[in-house]
């Protein structure tokens, strides 16, 4: 279960004393395993909300509770560990390490956990089949198309079976065919792992694929 309680976030404007309020006492509860599409106008705070949930940004006030743990009370070290164990992230521009291969990119989160290479390979091998990139497995990721690169990023985010996947406009840069393919793979893998998915999108055609849709406006969930 993910609970956002009276969550507020404001940013200082440059070096001045004034702040802009982006999120304003936002409340939202999401049951584990639910797939959620998050929409809202540009600048409404969608990326900010994902950054708060992942702990990349600090909250201004309120709380974020993930599986009974209040993550905004964790130290930087605890937060890094929590993120590696509980959260997977997918971005619009993939954020892959382009001089590593497909296999190496997907393996990274498990290598960081110190898991032995043999069991890593078994998990990664299965995922490579799920994303349909068997014939690209030893390519460096700079050689991949956008759709292929995003499938690698999905596999990397899911390889640790995190309880929450955060995806910020993952199809924002892809054509329609790749978009459908990516969303179908992402939702299927999240359902298999019983991971909660929160995906930001502007594409209304995709909303029916999700269990729930929420819209942010004026700092709150509508």
Ligand X SMILES: Nc1ncnc2c1ncn2[C@@H]1O[C@H](COP(=O)(O)OP(=O)(O)O)[C@@H](O)[C@H]1O
Number of residues lying near ligand X (CB under 6 A): 10
| Binding of residue 166 to ligand X (CB under 6 A) | no
Count of alpha carbons within 13 Å of 12, Cβ hemisphere only?
Answer: 5
Q: At what angle do helices 102-111 and 117-130 cross, to 10 degrees?
A: 130
Q: What share of the chain is helix, strand, coil (3-state, %, to 5)?
A: 40, 25, 35
Contact pick of 35, 44, 47, 107 for Mg ion (by CB under 5 A): 47
Of 29-88, which residues contact ligand X (CB under 6 A)? 40, 42-48
Query: Residue 182 Cβ, how far from ligand X at the closest point, in Å?
Result: 19
| Binding of residue 18 to ligand X (CB under 6 A) | no
Residue 44's binding partner out of ligand X, Mg ion, none, with CB under 5 to 8 Å set by partner kind: ligand X
CB-wise, 35 or 201, nearer to Mg ion? 201
Residue 170's binding partner out of Mg ion, ligand X, none, with CB under 5 to 8 Å set by partner kind: none
Query: Residue 17 Cβ, how far from ligand X at the closest point, in Å?
Result: 14
Contact pick of 2, 4, 22, 185 for ligand X (by CB under 6 A): 22
In contact, 136 and 67? CB cutoff 8 Å: no
SS3 at position 76: helix
Q: Which of 42, 57, 7 is nearest to 166 (CA)?
A: 57
Q: From the CB of residue 177, how many other CB atoms can be counted at a distance below 10 Å?
A: 9
- Which residues neighbour 122 within 8 Å (Cβ) at sequence distance 6 or greater? none
CB-wise, 44 or 141, nearer to ligand X? 44
CB-wise, 43 or 132, nearer to Mg ion? 43
Return d(Cα 93, Cα 153) in angstroms, integer.
9
Return d(Cα 162, Cα 168) in angstroms, integer.
16
**Binding track, positions 203-222, relative to ligand X; x by CB under 6 A:** --------------------
What the block records as the tokens of 19 is 């702040």
| Binding of residue 15 to ligand X (CB under 6 A) | no
Residue 86's binding partner out of Mg ion, ligand X, none, with CB under 5 to 8 Å set by partner kind: none
Which residues bind to Mg ion, rule: CB under 5 A?
47
Which residues bind to ligand X, rule: CB under 6 A?
11, 22, 40, 42-48
């Amino acid at each position: 279960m993910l609970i956002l309680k009276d969550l507020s976030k404001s940013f200082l404007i440059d070096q001045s004393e004034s702040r802009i309020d982006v999120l304003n006492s936002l409340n939202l509860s999401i049951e584990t395993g639910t797939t959620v599409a998050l929409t809202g106008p540009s600048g409404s705070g969608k990326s900010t909300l994902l950054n708060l949930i992942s702990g990349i940004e600090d909250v201004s006030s309120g709380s974020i509770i993930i599986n009974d743990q209040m993550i905004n009370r964790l130290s930087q070290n605890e937060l890094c560990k929590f993120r590696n164990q509980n959260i997977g992230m997918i971005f619009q521009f993939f954020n892959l390490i382009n001089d590593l291969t497909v296999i190496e990119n997907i393996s990274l989160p498990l290598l960081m956990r110190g898991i032995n290479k043999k069991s890593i390979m078994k998990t990664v091998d299965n995922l490579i089949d799920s994303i349909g990139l068997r014939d690209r497995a030893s390519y460096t990721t700079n050689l991949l198309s956008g759709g292929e690169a995003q499938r690698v990023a999905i596999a990397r985010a899911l390889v640790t079976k995190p309880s929450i996947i955060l995806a910020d406009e993952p199809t924002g840069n892809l054509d329609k065919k790749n978009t459908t393919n990516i969303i179908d793979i992402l939702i299927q893998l999240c359902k298999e792992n019983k991971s909660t998915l929160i995906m930001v999108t502007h594409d209304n055609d995709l909303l029916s694929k999700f269990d729930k849709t929420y819209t942010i406006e004026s700092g709150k969930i509508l």
